[in-house]
Structure 1
Amino acid sequence: MTHHATPAPRSAPVHGTRVVHGPAGELLARLDGDLLRAGAVRYARADRFRPPVDEPRSTEPVDATGWSPSAPQPPDPLGLDVFGPDSSRPLPPSEDCLRLTVTAPADAAPGEDLPVIVWIHGGSYVSGAGDAISYDPASLVREQRLVVVAVTYRLGVLGFLGDEVRPANLGLLDLLSALRWVRRNIAAFGGDPAAVTAMGESAGGDAVAHLLLTAEGPGLFHRAIIQSAPLGISRRRAAMNATMARALRQVPDDAPLGVLLAAQQRVTRRVLPRHGLRGAMPFGPQYGFAPLPSEDRREAVWARVAADVEVLVGTNAREAALFLAGRTPGERAPVVGGLLLEGAVSALTAAVYGRAADRFVDRHRRGGGRAVRYTFLGGPGHHPLRAAHATELPLLLGDAAAWQGVPVLAGREDADLRTWGPPLRAAWAEFARSGRPPTDVPDLLHVD
C-alpha cells in the first residue's frame, strides 16, 4: 500500500491568520504552523427541539480562529475524558453548538482536490465534542495530506430522543446539515467534495451507518469508516424510547438547561435495569421518524445503497474490556477471575459489536458494494485494556499528552503511539483516498 506521506513543508511554519473565501463567506482562519484551522464555524442554527436550518452565506467576515463549543451534556458515564487532562482547550457547553472545525495543510490550494474525512465523535450519543483535544487530527493531516472536518452536534434529549410531539433524530439532521456545508465549502480549503469519507467511532460509527439509511446521506459522502459501532443494540428500541419520551415530556420545552439535563440523567438511570444491553445506550437514532425509514425496512435500504458507498467496518478484539474491567472477582482468584473476565469480554463484544459488524459487511457485499472488515488487535503486549473499546483512537487522533490519564491508554507507552500511530493513520488515509483495504499493519489489524 502506498502511504502518500506528506513531504516536509515547503516553507517555514507560519502563525497568524488567513482569510478563506468560499460559499460560506469570508472565514478568518488560524495558521497553526503547517496547518490551517477554521474553527467554530456555524453550519446551521436550531431552536431547542427544532430541526436545523443551514447557515446561509455570511455577508460579514466570520471569526473562525476558535474551537467549537461542546454540546450540553452530563458527566461522561464511562470516564473517557476526551476533553483532556487540563483546560488547554476549553470547550464550554452551549446549545448553539452546531459548529465544525476544518483542519487542512496550510499550503493546500483551492482545487487541489485532497481527500476529506468528516469526523463524527462517539460518546453513546450523550457526551463528547468534535474539537475535544484527544480528537485533534493534526498528525493525520500533516502526515497524509488530507483535510479533516470535525463536527459537533446535539446530544442526549436535545438531539436523540423524540416522539409525535418533539422531533426525533435531530442530531442526525445536524450531521446531514454539516455534510451539506462540507460539500459546498470544502474546495476552498483544498478538499475534494467528490472524495468525502464519513468516519465515526462508537456512537459516531453508529451515526455513520444510520446516515446511509437517509435519502440524502449516500449522496453526501462516498466512503465510510465505521469503528466499533454498537449495531448489536440498535434494534427493538421503540418501547424504551417511547417510555423515555413520555417521562421527559413532563419537562417544558423552555425549562432551564440544567433542569433538562438532570431529568435526562434520572430517566437514564431508570432505563438500564429494565431494558438490558439496550438500556446501556438509551439515546440513539429512532426508526420511523425522519430522516430514517421504519425498522422493518432498514436492511433493504442498507442493501439498496451498498453500491454507492465503500465501507471500512471494524471492531476491537476486546471491546467490552473497557466496560468490564474490575467487575469480576479477579483480585480474589486471579486465574478463575481472569477466565471469567475474558469469557464475559468475548461474549459481550460479540453481542454488541462483532456479530452485527459481520452482518453489515455481508449484506453490503451482497448488495454489490465494497466492504472491508477489520479487527483491531491492539498491538504486541498484554494489559487489561488491550484492544478494548476506543483504544485505537490514540493512534489515529490526538497525541500522548492529549490522552494523558484517559483509561484507554493504560499500559501503553508513548513509544507505542509513535511506532503504531503512523501506519494506522496511513491505512485509514489510504482507504479515504482510494478505497484500498489496510495491508501494512498486521500487528494491529486482522483484515477480512
Structure 2
Amino acid sequence: MTTQQHSGILTFQTPSGKISAIQENGVIRAKSIRYARSGRYQKPVPVDVGFHKIPEKTPVCPQHISPLLERLIQKTDVEQFEPDESPQFLTVTRPLNPNENDNLPVVVWIHGGSYEIGCGDLPTSDPSVWVKEQRIVIVSVSYRLGLFGFLGGSEERPANLGLFDIMEALRWIRKNIRSFGGNPGNITLFGQSSGGDAIAHLMISEGTDGLFQRAIIHSAPLGFRLKRQKMSLEFFRKTEFLKHEEDPLKMVDEYVNFLPSFRKYGLKTAMPFCTQYGSAPLCTEEESLERWKKNAEKYDVLIGSNQDETAFYVKTAQEGLYTYLHNRILNSIVRKTTESIYEKPADAFAVNYADGGGNVYRFTLRLTLKNHNIGASHCIDLPLIFENGEAWKDSELLKEIPWKYIQENGRKLRTLWAEFAATGKISENQELPEMLELRKI
C-alpha cells in the first residue's frame, strides 16, 4: 500500500490506478471512484480509473425524490448530487494512519430505497463513527436503480442489471481493497431494505463465488419477492416506449403514471421494482429456497428486522386520527404487515439456511422507550449503525427519541456487527444493546 499526501489530498496507488482521498471526520475517505461504465440497458464494463479525482458533486442514478422518505429520514439537498445514468461509483472509508501491515475487515454497504431511490453516499449513511471505533474498512456502493437497473424482460432490456453492477463493484473491491488496508478475503456485505434483499439474492447468483464471505441483512422485504412475474411483465410492457428517450429524468417522470394501475397486485406494488427470477444471474423462483440451502455453507449470515417495520408509513398517513380505536386498528395493520413482509420471510430464510448447515443469526430491534407511538419502524436501525446527529436531527422517525438513547444502543450494536464482520460469530459474553434481541438459529 503506497500513499502520498499533497495539500490535504492523499493518493493511494492501486492496481486500478491512483486514487485521491481526503481526511475528514477522523477518517480517510476516497469518494466516488468509478468502478464500471454502462450504456443504457447494457451490462457494466469494468474500468481502470487511471488517476481519480474526487468530483464536486455526488453521482446518483436518476430518480424521484420521495416526500415520505424525506420526512422519515432527511430532506435531500439536490445541489449536492449529479444525476448519471451510469452511476457505478463507490466510496472507500478507512481509519487514519494507513500502514503496510493493515489487513482490516471490509464491510460493503448496499443501500436501500425500494430499488428505486438513494445512493451509496448519503449523510445518513456516513460510516465514519463505525470505521473509527472498530478499525474496519467500509465501501459504499452505488448502482443502477428503477427502470435502468431493475426492470427487464428481453435481450434488449435485460433484468437485474443493478445486481450485475454490484457484482462488478465486488470484483473491483477484491482487486483493489488491499491498497486501502482491507483484507480481500474477509468481505461482509451489509444492506438494509432493498439493499438487504439484493444481498440475499447475490448469495444465489451465478458469478459471485469468492466475492464475499458474510452477509448482514437488515429489514429485507423478502415477503415481496414471490409471484411478481405478471406484474413485472405488465410494467415492462407499459414502459417499453421509454427505452429510447434521450432524457433519463423524463423517463423517471413518465413511469410513475403507470403505478396506480398496479394496485390490483396487492401489497407488493409498494415496491414496483425488484430482482427478477429466471433472468441472469438468478435461478427460477421455484429453485431459490433450495439454492439458498445448497449455498448455506458458503456465507455466514446475520438477518433481522425491526419490531414495527411498517409503523411510520401506516401511522403518519393517518396523522390526527389517533383515537383509541384508530390506534388499535393501526397497530393491528402494522403488526400484520410487518409479519408478512419482513418477519415470517426472514424466519423461513433463517431456518432453511440453518437446515442447509449454514451459520445464521436472527435478530429483532425493538424500541424500549415507553409511550412512543411509532416504535421501531423501518430505518430505525440506520442511525444506530451510521451515527451522525447532524444528518438525523430533522428526522420524524426519531422525533421524541433522545439522541443519547440512539448513541448508547448504536455503540453496542456496532461492536457486535463488527465482530460478526471480522469472524462470522458473536461472542456470548458481548453486551447486547437494550434494543436488540439476538439468537443463533
| Range class of TM-score, shorter chain | over 0.9
Deviations 1:127-172 (A, max 9, x none): 1111011100000001110000000111101110001131110000
CA distance in 2, matches of 1:427, 1:66: 35
Aligned to 1:76: 66
Aligned to 1:255: 246
For the Cα contact (< 8 Å) 2:412–2:433, is it kept in 1? no
Aligned to 1:419: 408
What are the equivalent positions in structure 2 for 1:429-444 lying under 5 Å apart?
Answer: 429-437=418-426, 439-444=430-435
Identify the match of residue 360 of structure 1 among 342, 349, 355: 349
Deviations 1:8-60 (A, max 9, x none): xxxxxx981111011111112112253111111001000111110111x34x4
Identify the match of residue 97 of structure 1 among 63, 72, 87: 87
| SS of corresponding position for 1:61 | strand
CA distance in 1, matches of 2:144, 2:72: 17
Aligned to 1:176: 167
Aligned to 2:43: 51
Find runs of 4+ consecutive structure 1 residues off by over 6 angstroms: none
Q: 1:83 to 1:228 in 2, by over 3 A?
A: closer
| SS of corresponding position for 1:283 | coil
Deviations 1:250-274 (A, max 9, x none): 2232432132112221122322x11
For the Cα contact (< 8 Å) 1:84–1:132, is it kept in 2? no
For the Cα contact (< 8 Å) 2:91–2:140, is it kept in 1? yes
CA distance in 2, matches of 1:293, 1:18: 43
Aligned to 1:166: 157
The answer to whether residue 250 in structure 2 is matched with residue 264 in structure 1 is no
Aligned to 1:17: 9
Q: 1:207 to 1:382 in 2, by over 3 A?
A: farther
Q: Could you tell which deviates more after superposition, 348-357 or 253-262?
A: 253-262
Deviations 1:211-263 (A, max 9, x none): 01112224211010000000011010000000000001022324321321122
Q: Could you tell which deviates more after superposition, 430-439 or 111-120?
A: 430-439
What are the equivalent positions in structure 2 for 1:200-211 lying under 5 Å apart?
Answer: 200-211=191-202
For the Cα contact (< 8 Å) 1:379–1:443, is it kept in 2? yes
Identify the match of residue 359 of structure 2 among 352, 362, 370: 370
Aligned to 1:244: 235
For the Cα contact (< 8 Å) 2:10–2:20, is it kept in 1? yes
Q: 1:365 to 1:252 in 2, by over 3 A?
A: closer
Aligned to 1:152: 142
Identify the match of residue 178 of structure 2 among 187, 192, 195: 187
CA distance in 2, matches of 1:323, 1:129: 21
CA RMSD of aligned residues (A): 2.0
CA distance in 1, matches of 2:104, 2:394: 34
| SS of corresponding position for 1:20 | strand
For the Cα contact (< 8 Å) 1:49–1:253, is it kept in 2? no
Q: How many percent of aligned residue pairs carry the same amino acid?
A: 35
CA distance in 1, matches of 2:134, 2:245: 46
Aligned to 1:107: 97
Aligned to 2:30: 38
TM-score, with length taken from structure 1: 0.92
Deviations 1:389-435 (A, max 9, x none): 11111111141210122232122122222222211111111110112
CA distance in 1, matches of 2:182, 2:336: 42
| SS of corresponding position for 2:140 | strand
Deviation at 1:339, TM superposition (A): 1.4
CA distance in 1, matches of 2:73, 2:13: 31
Counterpart of 1:29 in structure 2: which amino acid? Answer: A
Deviations 1:310-348 (A, max 9, x none): 0000010010102101345x8556222221121111100
| SS of corresponding position for 1:219 | coil
Aligned to 1:121: 111
Q: 1:398 to 1:49 in 2, by over 3 A?
A: farther
For the Cα contact (< 8 Å) 1:38–1:65, is it kept in 2? no
CA distance in 1, matches of 2:198, 2:7: 35
For the Cα contact (< 8 Å) 2:72–2:397, is it kept in 1? no
The answer to whether residue 376 in structure 2 is matched with residue 384 in structure 1 is no
The answer to whether residue 304 in structure 2 is matched with residue 314 in structure 1 is yes
TM-score, with length taken from structure 2: 0.93
Tell me, which stretches of 5 or more residues in structure 1 are unaligned? 1-13
For the Cα contact (< 8 Å) 2:144–2:162, is it kept in 1? yes
User: How many aligned residue pairs are there?
Assistant: 431
